[in-house]
Structure 1
């Protein structure tokens, strides 16, 4: 009986007809996961390019004047609507007097002890002319002639595929793009004043 089973065992061991199906079943999940990752990263890069292009277009429109921050936001959302719904997009604009003010406190012109920090008795260049020393001197809005505008567009959207959580990614993707543009000198603007505080 055992002698009769030996040839049958050899035939079964030599039979590879179903091996392709088993190999395919093992490889397909990996391939699908890889394709989903490529789709996810490619889509994020596409969104980044669209948002950067929308920022460039909106900032060019703003440099010549007669545009509000609401118009800038609407322009950017309209540009990216083909790839991302407008509710996922937030836009902010900050006005600065010049490039050296961006992200820095107002310049201290007369410094008393302790040096290097603003305190009563110091004089400062009031870049936004509000009479108060500002650690971040920018104002919301698109400013006026010759002002420097810092545009930020942030897009938060859900993952396209379920591969994100499997890879340890968050359930949403975030794209933030910025640009910095000086408005054209289409009219005059107020120069910053020097304000001195009393101790």
Structure 2
């Protein structure tokens, strides 16, 4: 056997570099998978922290300890540790007469054809006191005694890992927390006026 042929055979039979090649093939998908798990874990953490802050703020507001401006300041202060990485926080507070009205249109009390939609001649409960029928009821703010307050806090910030662009995801991630709490009955709840037009 010639020297050249023997060297080629030894090179062909040598498997010492195969592990390196195999690792090279799985390294990129493995790294993406690990970063994806880390990213989803961080989003769950954001949601849990945001929900905890919102629950404490909502409870303080329901017993009259904090007003609307103080709630926003409290949530911003609590979220500051997370928002140090260019994050933003937005807060929505809307009050409703009862739990069944949260996120729904104002209640139609007498309905004319076509039924199920507000028409001229229908009567409705003017829950936000503006004198017109609204497809989205509720009053911005904390409401009054015995009212239901819906809180929503959304925190948005840049993703932890750069793999979002590789996967076609947005470069920011958001976590939203909701809470619906009844204010304490420190006085009589105002009953919405019924308006017919």
Instruction: Using structure 1 for the length normalisation, give the TM-score.
Output: 0.88
| Residue 123 (structure 1) aligns with | 123
When residues 10 and 97 of structure 1 are mapped into structure 2, their CA distance, relative to the original with a 3 A threshold, is: same
| Residue 106 (structure 1) aligns with | 106
Deviation larger for 181-190 or 45-54: 181-190
Mapped partners of 2:6, 2:135: distance in 1: 88
Pairing 1:132–2:139 present: no
Q: Secondary structure at the match of 2:12?
A: helix
Report if aligned partners of 1:68, 1:141 keep a CA contact under 8 Å in 2. Answer: no
Q: How far apart are residue 186 of structure 1 and its match? A: 1.5
| Residue 148 (structure 1) aligns with | 148
| Residue 15 (structure 2) aligns with | 16
Mapped partners of 2:127, 2:22: distance in 1: 68
> CA RMSD of the aligned region, Å?
2.0
Structure 2 runs not aligned, ≥5 long: none
| Residue 162 (structure 1) aligns with | 162
| Residue 44 (structure 1) aligns with | 43
Report if aligned partners of 2:127, 2:139 keep a CA contact under 8 Å in 1. Answer: no
Structure 1 runs not aligned, ≥5 long: none
Mapped partners of 1:31, 1:100: distance in 2: 48
Q: How far apart are residue 180 of structure 1 and its match? A: 0.8
Mapped partners of 1:146, 1:88: distance in 2: 31
When residues 87 and 34 of structure 1 are mapped into structure 2, their CA distance, relative to the original with a 3 A threshold, is: closer
| Residue 4 (structure 1) aligns with | 3
Q: Secondary structure at the match of 1:134?
A: coil
Deviation larger for 76-85 or 86-95: 76-85
Mapped partners of 1:72, 1:132: distance in 2: 29
When residues 118 and 175 of structure 1 are mapped into structure 2, their CA distance, relative to the original with a 3 A threshold, is: same
